A and B are shown apart, each in its own frame.
Chain A
Amino acid sequence: MAIAKPTEATRVAKTGWLGRLSDQLWRSPRLLLVLLLLPPIAWLGIVYLGSLFALLIQSFFSIDEFSGLINYKFTLKTYGELFIPANFDIIVRTASMAAIVTLAAIAIAFPIAFFAARYAKGRWKAIFYLGVMLPLWSSYLVKVYAWKLILAKEGILNWGLETLHLSWLLDAWLSLSVIGGNSLSVSYTGTFLVFLYVWLPFMILPIQAALERVPGNYLEASSDLGARPMQTLRTIILPLALPGIIAGSIFTFSLTLGDYIIPQIIGSSRLFIGQAVYAHQGTAGNIPLAAAFSVVPVIIMGFYLWGAKRQGAFDAL
């Protein structure tokens, strides 16, 4: 599109240094670009990338077992320590929890997103939108605290089960070997519930966004051709919603991998990656091992994103 050049009659002379600077910026967009980008890039580059780099470097150092001091020499020994059974268990435990939380979040989020995208109109649309948004943004710690109240021995969940005479069900569940425990608030089941609750909105929003984009006539065509609703769901809607599901799973998976507060407050005493990082950098003072541990979620997420990309999940986004 051709832009009309200002004629002599309409052009107003730009005077003063501000005017000259302005003309200069208009003539060389590159200079403007540099000026715009310099502050944010400098901030993020120095503060953030610099710090990440500092962390990465430390993971290649090791700790001297006798003196407890950090040995500043390049080594892969610290990474090797990740594979001793005690540490490897932590990684497996965290990754399994992340996977289960993700699957459960998909199952609960899908109907909500489906309803919001397909049926909610007008006021209900707003209610559903805010209904997901408010829990998403309300305080993380308050949400964890709410679950501490719910899962407490004298709390509402046990009270409800007792009132319904279903306490035996909970007892039977808690007597199971891995997922059980003395009470819900010190079992993996409790940790799982809190993770699920806290990350659920992060799953709903991307699925809803993906479903909004599914053309309605695809579904009509599908049913015209004789597909039953479940068939339409399986062969048309789910594949088209997959990018949204994967986008949501990236959130739930990554957030679970890095969290150290939820398993500390609600859960058994067995550690998750985040807690291991926290413990090693704090009281133990083993910064190299803490650094190596914190590289693990990054690597897992790297593979996860790579796999998602290979599945073509990003093409549709």
Chain B
Amino acid sequence: MRSDQPAPLSIKILAGAGLLFLHLPILLIFVYAFTTEDKTYQWPPPGYTLKWLEVTWNRPDVWEALTLSVKVASISTLIAMLLGTLCAAAVSRTRFFGREVVSLLVILPIALPGIITGISLRSAFNIADIPFSFWTIVLGHATFCVVVVYNNAVARFRRLSGSLIEASMDLGANSFQTFRHVILPNISTALLAGGMLAFALSFDEVIVTTFTAGQQATLPIWMLEELVRPRQRPVTNVVAMVVVIVTFVPILLAYYLTRDGDQVAGHSK
């Protein structure tokens, strides 16, 4: 429904105000990271300093949380990429009984509120006597990350013409060679985009994690504790800023990887 006429002023104002509403709070985080005030959330900041960057850099607890988050996100992303690609290949290549059920099953962990996924996993771990560890966090994260990889891969598989695969087989390649030389290069950018979104999703997840983590604190858990009981406001400000920057990078990359093709990498969150 594209129009060649310029937009009416009222719509311009409403849309612009809406976008500002979405972005101003995030920009505010960047200002607060440099404030000299360390006891309250005073606005406007009484002065600006780079001191808190250094203080945060030297905090072992922040580094531990960050390392744990990166490890969890990396492993969950790898598992999700494997499972999501397999599922997408099956669903997009063939029509079979129960196909809709499979799609639903993949989407369910993210469609149901996170607290349900979290408490379900927790009660299952309790029943099965599995102690909370690094791996219980990964188990939860991988489960809800499958869907983003799956959505990206399905969209790309649909565009991948079946005759390419037939041509490869006709020319004597076996299924594995065809996968390696024909299918993989065609889906790789979609997989990469899906993987980055999965990483961002896992890196940021807090609701399921509070239920599946034992004593470990991922970066979101660390932040949540600071939110509930603020103890070191300046450090929290800096961590918040870093988290914003770190999550923007994969989103922008995923956007540029998929923008010419099958629309919207992140639509599936």
Contact = CB atoms under 8 A, between A and B. Distances in A.
A112 B21 CA distance: 11
B251 interface: yes
Interface string B1-14: 11100111001101
A294 B112 CA distance: 10
A22 B82 CA distance: 20
A255 B90 contact: no
Given A118-B3, A141-B227, A261-B224, A14 B121 contact: no
A138 interface: yes
Interface size class on chain B is 35 or more
A94 B12 CA distance: 34
Nearest to B211: A281
B41 A152 contact: yes
Contacts, number: 284
Chain A, interface SS category:
helix
A163 to B, nearest CB: 10
Say whether chain B's binding surface is mostly helix, strand, loop, or mixed.
helix
A96 interface: no
A23 B174 contact: yes
Nearest to A147: B25
Given A114-B15, A136-B266, A141-B220, A254 B172 contact: no
B267 interface: yes
A278 B6 contact: no
Interface of B: 1-3, 6-8, 11-12, 14-15, 18-19, 21-23, 25-26, 28-29, 32, 40-44, 79, 82-84, 86-87, 89-90, 94, 96, 102, 105-106, 108-109, 111-117, 119-124, 127, 139, 142-143, 146, 166, 169-172, 174-176, 197, 200, 204, 206-207, 220, 223-224, 227-228, 236, 240, 243-244, 247-248, 251-252, 255, 259, 264, 266-267, 269
Interface of A: 3-4, 6, 10-12, 14, 18-19, 21-23, 25-26, 29, 32-33, 36-37, 39-41, 43-45, 47-52, 54-55, 58, 108-109, 111-112, 114-119, 121, 126, 128-150, 152, 154-156, 159, 197, 200-202, 204-205, 209, 211-216, 218-219, 229, 254-255, 257-261, 264-265, 274, 277-278, 281, 287, 290-291, 294, 297-298, 301
